[in-house]
Structure 1
Amino acid sequence: MKIPPITARASRSAGRPAVALGVALALVAMNAIQATAAPAPASPENAITRAVEPTGEVPGGFASWKDLVATQEKLVKAADRVTAAVRTQGDTGFAGIVAAPENRELRVYWKGDTPERIDDLVGRLRRDVPVSVLPAAYSARELESEMNRLGRTSGGAITSIAPNVDGSGLTVSGAAYGLTRSKVADSAVPVTVEAGVTPTPASRWDDAAPWLGGAAWRTTGTGRGCSTGFAVTAGGASWMLSAAHCGSIGQTATDPTGQVIGPIAYANTSRDVMLIRASTAGRVYNNNPGTVSPEFSNPVVGTSASYVGMWLCTSGAYSGTICLCQVKMTNVTIYLAESVLYGLALLENPTRKNVAGQGDSGGPVETPEPSGTTQQYAVGVISLIDTSAQVPCTGYVLNGRVCSWRLYYAPWSNATTAFPGIAIATG
């Protein structure tokens, strides 16, 4: 496999804010933060594996997290079949899909009459999961077209824009409500304007080859800290997936102790994903925030698409593993001071506690395989946090960081779009 031409990211001045107006790239200046000493890392062969079990009440009245993700997995598989049918047939009436495990149903939104073959597919899916087909005012194609137009004409007033999954219109954010509202006044579809929204680990801190996801890393020269995402393969080689804004092509990635991980070889800034050339293993760290010892990691067994309504976990190297966070939007476009990011998903912690913070960029967004919650599906990598939704940080580094209950992540589809032919490395 030949990796296609990739856009290199220009180096930034270390003192310049990466993002204006409150959406922050989830990286951190590591030279300003001290972490606790770490024990020697365990190799993947003798790594500890444990179930990923969140604390707190499980949504939807489920008896356990395992029961919720089992229902969610069925809904996601059904949603994948609908998505595949739409993609192959080019259906213009499709608006969106919600996987709602707490309601035990899949919702498909459609403008106009559904084609007979979609009706047939839904009928087959209903043998396994409840599926509702609901009317939509606009199709996904119509909303995406209007999104692109408003983005071009907003003059920087818009910081994020996304289609409503039910096809009712668009949701736009900006620092100043009045200005943003005026820039979308001529929209051809209804627009909701949200004001103000802009977009010390142990082995995580001192990992070793083969490198795992959810570990801390930094770039030589800048000292900025991020997290590793997922091990992938491409062109017969092994790579580590992370966030493109964490560094530039040609820089070297190291762990915080200075051990070399490998060179940053490819980066796609518009999808916010990068590949680090490195010896990797298909596992991710998942010990709870604040737990220094014992740490544990989990094997990755595949990938999952992102749908509104899904309940996921994040596992940045700084905040640790945080579950029971819900996808609120997909196909979000973010306008930064230096670039535009496409295809992101919005994830929120409904308890208004930390979902991720600075230093967690590039870290895993995942969902457990439900049979034992000891294996993980790769969903995406952490990209941005919303600094208008700041909360106290969790994890290993509590001081000197900004954390939030709302984040944006680059889904697995961004990685495959940026780097055709890559595959997840399983553990």
Structure 2
Amino acid sequence: MATGIVLATAGTGTVQAASAPDPVKPWVTGSVEHTGPVPGGYASWKDLLLDQRKMVRAADRITAALGRSGDGYAGVVAAPESHELRVYWKGEVPARIDALVGSLRRDVAISVLPAPYSARELEREANRLIRENTGLITSVAPSQDGSGLTASTASLGTARSAVSGAAVPVTLEYGARPTPASRWDDSPPWWGGGAWGVGGTAFCTTGFAVTYQGATKLLSGRHCANVGQIANDPTGQVIGPVTHTNDPRDLLLIGTSSAGRVFNNPVGNVATEYSNAVIGTTGSVIGMFVCVSGAFSGTTCNNRVTAVNMTINVGYLLQGMVRLDQAAGTNAAGQGDSGAPVEVVNPSNTAQVYAAGSLSAIDGSATVACTGYVIGSRICSRRVYYSPWSNATTAFPGIAIIPG
């Protein structure tokens, strides 16, 4: 069994490439749905998602307004199960932030709570710990309540000694280590959620359609290919060249004709394929529920954001990452799903989604049975990591989502 965080790429021999002509693209839409009991006493998932959308928008307004007033900001948590947004702050909240929160309370219940450390203090210490302990500490996440850091390691005893002199409290987790993580016969304009690779040696998943520097492109995972390599679908059809990459955000861009839709069906049955329109982007806030649309796993929902602004070690450092945990403990994503769209369902129309980010890695210490293609030694996990939309705008200034 794998342990640790591994990039979610599927290797050679994992799948049998298709050879049939391109099928008619499934412009038919279907609902992308969360299932199971609805947290917080909501009457339906729609009601929860409507409140969640308000909370995320309020969180985005607050973080966008920080500027120099952000020295005391520690974090923000969406708590739909408690029907409130929680903002954590070290020291006195500046008057203009307090006024903004007051105005936002007309639409969202917001609690402002004290924090012992600011986000900037935690980020500085997190970066120091993971850089000075390469190979020992594999990921570091700041607590959004400002209480400290959570670091993962495969060697608790050694790690305890390494963090004993940290400037903030550090909680150690054992075992977490990130691993690099039809849909199968798409055609132009290319959509998110389809399988792609380079030379048939490894496979990943196409991400959201975007524009960058005046051209249409597809977003996906940096670890999947290098600039200049040619992306193909599993039948060998050329998608286009990799034109841009960004290592610390684990993102790349494929130059090609692309459109703002995402495959969201279970994999393996062309007759039941459907797709959904992308209508915008969303921030990533702890507590929110999202779906992942992998070419190998199919679409999984009920995935909850449990950490943001993480630095993880996959042999090199990835920054600004977000962690998801599958609420039911089943598969969130697996190998072959790298680059996959991470999306939030539009509560007003479940045939539409918002772009949240691009899948990057799976946690090999939290492996579960795979959904979708259960082939060979493919690994899947109930805990995964993704690069949020804010990473895309940092990596590629001026990038914009293509709506469907």
- For this structure pair, what is the TM-score category when the shorter chain's length is used for normalisation? over 0.9
Contact map agreement 1:35 1:396 (CA 8 A) in 2 = no
Q: Distance in 2 between matches of 1:320 and 1:102?
A: 27
Q: 1:244 aligns with which of 216, 222, 228?
A: 222
Distance 1:289 1:252, change over 3 A: closer
Q: Distance in 2 between matches of 1:39 and 1:415?
A: 33
Instruction: Tell me the amino acid that sits aligned with residue 245 of structure 1.
Output: H
Q: 2:49 aligns with which of 69, 74, 81?
A: 69
Name 2:58's counterpart in structure 1. Answer: 78
Distance 1:82 1:389, change over 3 A: same
**Superposed displacement of residue 294, structure 1:** 1.8
Q: Deviations over 1:170-199 (max 9, x none)?
A: 000011111111111110100000011112
Name 1:421's counterpart in structure 2. Answer: 398
**Superposed displacement of residue 39, structure 1:** 7.7
Secondary structure class of the residue paired with 1:293: helix
Query: Which structure 2 residues correspond to residues 108-119 of structure 1 after superposition, within 5 A?
Result: 108-119=87-98
Q: Deviations over 1:33-59 (max 9, x none)?
A: 23678784334xx71112212332222
Query: Which structure 2 residues correspond to residues 77-96 of structure 1 after superposition, within 5 A?
Result: 77-86=57-66, 88-96=67-75
Q: Distance in 1 between matches of 2:274 and 2:194?
A: 12
Name 2:331's counterpart in structure 1. Answer: 354
Query: Which ranges of structure 1 fall in alignment gaps of 5 or more residues?
Result: 1-19
Name 2:203's counterpart in structure 1. Answer: 225
Q: 2:283 aligns with which of 270, 294, 305?
A: 305
Q: Deviations over 1:205-253 (max 9, x none)?
A: 0000100000000112x62000001000012210000000001111110
**Superposed displacement of residue 31, structure 1:** 2.6
Secondary structure class of the residue paired with 2:62: helix
Contact map agreement 1:154 1:184 (CA 8 A) in 2 = no
Distance 1:404 1:219, change over 3 A: same
TM-score, normalised via structure 1 length: 0.90
Q: 2:6 aligns with which of 15, 24, 39?
A: 24
Q: 1:123 aligns with which of 97, 102, 108?
A: 102
Name 2:350's counterpart in structure 1. Answer: 373
Query: Which structure 2 residues correspond to residues 376-395 of structure 1 after superposition, within 5 A?
Result: 376-395=353-372
Give yes or no for the alignment of 1:214 onto 2:185.
no
Give yes or no for the alignment of 1:296 onto 2:274.
yes
Q: Distance in 1 between matches of 2:134 and 2:54?
A: 43
Instruction: Tell me the amino acid that sits aligned with residue 135 of structure 1.
Output: P
Contact map agreement 1:33 1:400 (CA 8 A) in 2 = no
| Worse-matched range after superposition: 187-196 or 34-43 | 34-43
Contact map agreement 2:18 2:185 (CA 8 A) in 1 = no
Runs of 4+ in 1 over 6 A off after TM superposition: 35-39
**Superposed displacement of residue 100, structure 1:** 1.3
Contact map agreement 1:289 1:322 (CA 8 A) in 2 = no
TM-score, normalised via structure 2 length: 0.95
Distance 1:133 1:409, change over 3 A: same
Name 2:171's counterpart in structure 1. Answer: 192
Name 1:284's counterpart in structure 2. Answer: 262
| Worse-matched range after superposition: 52-61 or 327-336 | 52-61
Instruction: Tell me the amino acid that sits aligned with residue 324 of structure 2.
Output: L
**Superposed displacement of residue 358, structure 1:** 0.3
**Superposed displacement of residue 90, structure 1:** 3.8
**Superposed displacement of residue 396, structure 1:** 3.4
Contact map agreement 1:334 1:340 (CA 8 A) in 2 = yes
Q: Deviations over 1:144-179 (max 9, x none)?
A: 111122123224311001111100000000111111
Distance 1:410 1:142, change over 3 A: same
| Worse-matched range after superposition: 287-296 or 256-265 | 287-296
**Superposed displacement of residue 291, structure 1:** 4.8
Contact map agreement 1:66 1:372 (CA 8 A) in 2 = no
Query: Percent identity of the aligned residues?
Result: 57
Q: Distance in 1 between matches of 2:100 and 2:324?
A: 29
**Superposed displacement of residue 268, structure 1:** 0.5
Name 1:273's counterpart in structure 2. Answer: 251
Secondary structure class of the residue paired with 2:394: helix
Q: Distance in 2 between matches of 1:401 and 1:395?
A: 11
Q: 1:335 aligns with which of 283, 308, 313?
A: 313
Contact map agreement 2:368 2:381 (CA 8 A) in 1 = yes
Contact map agreement 1:76 1:305 (CA 8 A) in 2 = yes
Instruction: Tell me the amino acid that sits aligned with residue 146 of structure 1.
Output: E
Q: Distance in 1 between matches of 2:236 and 2:19?
A: 14
Instruction: Tell me the amino acid that sits aligned with residue 346 of structure 1.
Output: R
Calculate the aligned-residue CA RMSD, in Å: 1.6
Query: Which ranges of structure 2 fall in alignment gaps of 5 or more residues?
Result: none
**Superposed displacement of residue 288, structure 1:** 3.2
Contact map agreement 2:192 2:341 (CA 8 A) in 1 = yes
| Worse-matched range after superposition: 246-255 or 56-65 | 56-65
Q: Distance in 1 between matches of 2:133 and 2:339?
A: 29
Instruction: Tell me the amino acid that sits aligned with residue 207 of structure 2.
Output: G
Distance 1:189 1:128, change over 3 A: same
Secondary structure class of the residue paired with 2:324: strand
